Chains A and B, each alone.
Chain A
């Protein structure tokens, strides 16, 4: 049953109605936002929040950061066994330095890793990818600066507790009771056609690094160092070399200037290198990841001056 309004709306009544609406909005915004914030740490699966939470909770000695190429290439369980220290793969589809920087800041709040392996990204993520950290706004000055970039509009929007959960509210509720596992490595199946040639051209031209990538890369290096974490830049394999020269040059320049090891396994040194190890030109499949993990484990162990013994295990 509805009751049509018979009294005409005057300014006084309208003001009261709008004031009541504003009061309810503020209250609900706080209630919903705080409620979701309370549920947030319990989410361990899912594309965005699940990956971030798992990386924070892992309290790993070695953290692997990067894009889907990192996520599908480094078997963190196997590397943990090989290196004798807890390794966690925190790679995520479509993410690059900007996301890695924010994630390292959040991880380090609980416990700084001893070593950060940054998988070199072909191009890099968009600034909008920083929105993945909106639910964590206020927890780290680095994350806050990535989110707002000093823009008053972003700061105004993020005043709303509910807005910080924009886009992830359903994921939080949906994944709340889902059981995940503690590792970040996500093996993929499928393989390239045996006839695909390594010197063939990539299907699509890859983007050159955006100007802000270098700024964030230098900042990531400085922030990792300030927390006492070692750094290694590492290129996971690709089938063929679709890299724009300036992407690799950028990482190599920063590595050389900062004394950071740059690891790249030449194709002929990766056992069984061929189409059978790749899902597509840019991503190793499960078999490829196993071969690569074994090889990169050896090279990491051979790096001079790296102390990967877990904290507390020293005599």
Chain B
């Protein structure tokens, strides 16, 4: 069930119609049922997995709180990590690890083969397992108390607006909201609607339209020249931004309709002046997760330069692997790690610039990010390298597709609006305008969706992660 489907509108409408009449406890039950219906539309068999993730970490959290010794507390953490990483390893990485092992053995001259594994990847598995693990780490660090209500925790793991693709929320932000009464205010509700509309525009207006061109070029990259591949790479940069941030905006908007607050996952990342700033603005919930639970425990910025380089590379390689079981994602993550290390070593862009200097930095940062996207979008590292070689040496003819026009018009609208409102966010900026201005903006965005939106668009890119 996609956010941009009428089935989902029906589900959300039903939830909203009932929500206001219920007390906190029943509201939570309603949201759990809605979340399971939402997830069950993809594959009802995996509902047991979502439930198990909730049950195991709820139990582990209670175990950590009740444990009398540090060793006992650690044992519960190990159990939780083993379970979460275990299901991730099985569903997401088993085939990849086995194939890589076989390749390595072949490289060493040993003949080996593995059976073809047909393991279906549960939607959102990387998101809900990471969110659940963050709770366990926080309970272990005594940052949050262990939750005593199983339904509250079950809802924290399965809350439908963010179940499939985040943001990866922390217990001290989202879980605590499920534990107390909440009130839907008109202001919050209104801003939720604005974010829903804005997210939908990003998804069907920009991402899905640009995706048609990107797919046409990248799915037949050998048949296209460098100019088409270059354009497809730039368009992919906007496609993935609008696809993922559009989903996040809709998730945050929906939470607001329910009187809940979720973190903003994207802060106009393509206006970043450096790779480091990019990662403070792109997929914020994941980058802060890796910062808090991997980078800092590894020593963070303390220690020798070599130690910091090592910790940075571990974080970015792991972040790449988190995105998918393929070496291309590892290379993508590794490239970003190298960018950050280089920026630190060279000491560039330490403080914000202004004027032409700022725009030059934004331009250079965007080029670096786009270069890394080639690996992310190509089907393999080899194909990415071939595409880069084609871009550099064989421009060829520029391929044109009709769907591009609608996508480019929507992209121009997006850039214009984000250019005007940055560094603030669309809804924050808009609510301070006159009502007529707000109405005009909402109408332009709505009719851009209706007239130019790609109605045959696929699911959100990040669902596969």
Indicate with 1 or 0, residue by residue over A26-68, a CB within 8 angstroms of chain B CB atoms: 0011001000000000000001000000000000000000000
By the criterion CB–CB under 8 Å, are B450 and A163 in contact?
Answer: yes
Q: A163 to chain B: closest CB distance in Å? A: 5
Report if A9 contacts B (CB, 8 A).
yes
By the criterion CB–CB under 8 Å, are A2 and B450 in contact?
Answer: no
Q: With contacts A157-B6, A165-B451 known, is A2 near B433, CB below 8 A?
A: yes
By the criterion CB–CB under 8 Å, are A169 and B456 in contact?
Answer: no
Give Cα A128–Cα B403 distance, bound, in whole angstroms: 15
Number of A residues near B (Cβ < 8 Å) is 35
Indicate with 1 or 0, residue by residue over B173-212, a CB within 8 angstroms of chain A CB atoms: 0000000000000110110010000000000000000000
By the criterion CB–CB under 8 Å, are A128 and B452 in contact?
Answer: no
Question: Mostly helix, strand, loop or mixed at chain B's interface?
Answer: helix
Report if B432 contacts A (CB, 8 A).
yes
Chain A residue contacts of B409, Cβ below 8 A = 170
Give Cα A171–Cα B452 distance, bound, in whole angstroms: 10
Q: How large is the interface on B (under 10, 10 to 19, 20 to 34, 35 or more residues)?
A: 20 to 34
Give Cα A255–Cα B189 distance, bound, in whole angstroms: 60
Give Cα A160–Cα B190 distance, bound, in whole angstroms: 24
By the criterion CB–CB under 8 Å, are B450 and A29 in contact?
Answer: yes
By the criterion CB–CB under 8 Å, are B402 and A47 in contact?
Answer: yes
Report if B49 contacts A (CB, 8 A).
no
Report if A13 contacts B (CB, 8 A).
yes
Q: With contacts A8-B187, A20-B439, A170-B405 known, is A2 near B434, CB below 8 A?
A: yes
Chain A residue contacts of B189, Cβ below 8 A = 14
Report if B272 contacts A (CB, 8 A).
no
Report if A226 contacts B (CB, 8 A).
no
By the criterion CB–CB under 8 Å, are B455 and A162 in contact?
Answer: no
Q: A2 to chain B: closest CB distance in Å? A: 5
Q: A93 to chain B: closest CB distance in Å? A: 10
Q: A132 to chain B: closest CB distance in Å? A: 11
Q: With contacts A29-B450, A157-B6 known, is A3 near B187, CB below 8 A?
A: no
Chain B residue contacts of A21, Cβ below 8 A = 439, 442-443
By the criterion CB–CB under 8 Å, are A162 and B447 in contact?
Answer: yes
Chain A residue contacts of B122, Cβ below 8 A = none
Chain B residue contacts of A162, Cβ below 8 A = 447, 450-451
Q: B177 to chain A: closest CB distance in Å? A: 21
Indicate with 1 or 0, residue by residue over A7-24, a CB within 8 angstroms of chain B CB atoms: 011110110011011001
Give Cα A28–Cα B450 distance, bound, in whole angstroms: 12
Among residues 323 to 381 in chain B, which have CB atoms less than 8 Å away from a CB atom of chain A? none
Give Cα A19–Cα B43 distance, bound, in whole angstroms: 38
Report if A200 contacts B (CB, 8 A).
no
Give Cα A5–Cα B186 distance, bound, in whole angstroms: 14
By the criterion CB–CB under 8 Å, are A9 and B190 in contact?
Answer: yes
Report if A243 contacts B (CB, 8 A).
no
Give Cα A78–Cα B185 distance, bound, in whole angstroms: 70
Chain A residue contacts of B450, Cβ below 8 A = 29, 160, 162-163, 166
Report if A266 contacts B (CB, 8 A).
no
Chain B residue contacts of A2, Cβ below 8 A = 432-434, 437
Indicate with 1 or 0, residue by residue over A70-99, a CB within 8 angstroms of chain B CB atoms: 000000000000000000000000000000
Report if A131 contacts B (CB, 8 A).
yes
By the criterion CB–CB under 8 Å, are A11 and B186 in contact?
Answer: yes
Among residues 389 to 408 in chain B, which have CB atoms less than 8 Å away from a CB atom of chain A? 402-403, 405-406
By the criterion CB–CB under 8 Å, are A4 and B455 in contact?
Answer: no
Report if A156 contacts B (CB, 8 A).
yes
Report if B435 contacts A (CB, 8 A).
yes
Among residues 59 to 112 in chain B, which have CB atoms less than 8 Å away from a CB atom of chain A? none
Closest to A162 in B: B450
Give Cα A157–Cα B449 distance, bound, in whole angstroms: 13
Report if A167 contacts B (CB, 8 A).
yes
Q: B278 to chain A: closest CB distance in Å? A: 30
By the criterion CB–CB under 8 Å, are B432 and A166 in contact?
Answer: no
Give Cα A9–Cα B188 distance, bound, in whole angstroms: 9
Report if A207 contacts B (CB, 8 A).
no
Of the candidates B186, B453, B454, the one whose C-beta lies within 8 Å of that of A10 is B186
Of the candidates A10, A28, A169, the one whose C-beta lies within 8 Å of that of B452 is A169
Q: A180 to chain B: closest CB distance in Å? A: 16
Indicate with 1 or 0, residue by residue over A154-181, a CB within 8 angstroms of chain B CB atoms: 0011001011011101110010000000
Give Cα A162–Cα B446 distance, bound, in whole angstroms: 11
By the criterion CB–CB under 8 Å, are B186 and A14 in contact?
Answer: yes
Report if B292 contacts A (CB, 8 A).
no
Of the candidates B447, B454, B455, the one whose C-beta lies within 8 Å of that of A32 is B447
Q: A62 to chain B: closest CB distance in Å? A: 29
Give Cα A131–Cα B442 distance, bound, in whole angstroms: 26
Q: B192 to chain A: closest CB distance in Å? A: 11
Give Cα A8–Cα B431 distance, bound, in whole angstroms: 11
Closest to A17 in B: B435
Report if A25 contacts B (CB, 8 A).
yes
Give Cα A97–Cα B451 distance, bound, in whole angstroms: 27
Closest to B209 in A: A167
Closest to A1 in B: B434
Closest to B403 in A: A167
Give Cα A10–Cα B452 distance, bound, in whole angstroms: 34
Give Cα A179–Cα B321 distance, bound, in whole angstroms: 54
Q: B444 to chain A: closest CB distance in Å? A: 10
Q: A47 to chain B: closest CB distance in Å? A: 6
Give Cα A170–Cα B412 distance, bound, in whole angstroms: 15
By the criterion CB–CB under 8 Å, are A13 and B186 in contact?
Answer: yes
Give Cα A10–Cα B189 distance, bound, in whole angstroms: 10
Among residues 411 to 445 in chain B, which have CB atoms less than 8 Å away from a CB atom of chain A? 431-435, 437, 439, 442-443
Among residues 137 to 160 in chain A, which have CB atoms less than 8 Å away from a CB atom of chain B? 153, 156-157, 160
Closest to A12 in B: B186
Give Cα A21–Cα B438 distance, bound, in whole angstroms: 10
Chain A residue contacts of B443, Cβ below 8 A = 21, 24-25, 28
Q: Most A CB atoms within 10 A — which of B190, B434, B450? A: B450
Q: B436 to chain A: closest CB distance in Å? A: 10
Q: State the B residues within 8 Å of A (CB).
A: 5-7, 186-187, 189-190, 193, 402-403, 405-406, 409, 431-435, 437, 439, 442-443, 446-447, 450-456
Which 7 A-B pairs rank lowest in CB-CB distance, beginning with the nearest? Answer: A14-B186, A153-B6, A169-B451, A4-B432, A9-B186, A9-B187, A128-B456
Other A-B pairs beyond A5-B435, A32-B451, A153-B7, 4, CB < 8 Å? A2-B434, A8-B187, A24-B443, A163-B450
Q: What are 27 A-B pairs at a CB distance below 8 A?
A: A2-B432, A4-B432, A5-B431, A9-B186, A9-B190, A11-B186, A17-B435, A17-B439, A18-B193, A21-B442, A24-B443, A32-B447, A131-B456, A162-B450, A163-B451, A166-B450, A166-B451, A167-B403, A167-B406, A167-B454, A169-B451, A170-B406, A170-B451, A170-B452, A171-B402, A171-B405, A174-B405
